[in-house]
């Protein structure tokens, strides 16, 4: 698959049921454990397990951590700002899904 400029696009499909360790998540996000721990402290990520050595992250954590880290690294947003941005993105997605379902219900019958 190629992007509009002809460059190759790369993607990764991660199921929601996948459980990643802290090390695996850090590797997938190219992040240090301290950065991920800060995301956890601010509620961006919610791992299962008590101690960081026992943390397990669901597949959605990979997407959330990548977006948050991109905001932090590329735009200079602090962690609290990244957490807020992710909440707003999730709210927009919910509202868009609701709007889409209403529009489908209101289509004229043929």
Select from 13, 8, 17, 57 the least CA-distant residue to 33: 57
The rounded distance, in Å, linking the Cα atoms of 38 and 83 is 11
Residues 71-99: pLDDT tens digits?
999 999 999 999 999 999 999 999 999 99
Rounded to two decimals, the pTM is: 0.74
Contact 82, 74 (CB under 8 A): no
Show the domains of the chain with their CATH numbers: 19-105 (1.10.1660.10)
Q: 3-state SS of the chain: helix, strand, coil percent to 5?
A: 60, 10, 35
Residues 20-67: pLDDT tens digits?
999 999 999 999 999 999 999 999 999 999 888 899 999 899 999 999
**Beta strands in the chain, from DSSP E residues, in sequence order:** 19-21, 56-58
């Amino acid at each position: 698959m190629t992007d509009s400029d002809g460059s190759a696009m790369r993607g990764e499909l991660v199921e929601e049921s996948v459980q990643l360790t802290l090390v695996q998540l850090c590797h997938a996000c190219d992040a240090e454990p301290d950065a991920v721990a800060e995301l956890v402290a601010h509620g961006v990520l919610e791992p299962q397990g008590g101690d960081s050595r026992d943390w397990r992250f669901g597949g959605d954590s990979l997407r959330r951590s990548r977006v948050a880290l991109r905001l932090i690294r590329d735009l200079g947003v602090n962690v609290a700002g990244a957490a807020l941005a992710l909440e707003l993105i999730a709210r927009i997605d919910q509202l868009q899904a609701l709007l889409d379902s209403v529009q489908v219900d209101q289509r004229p019958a043929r």
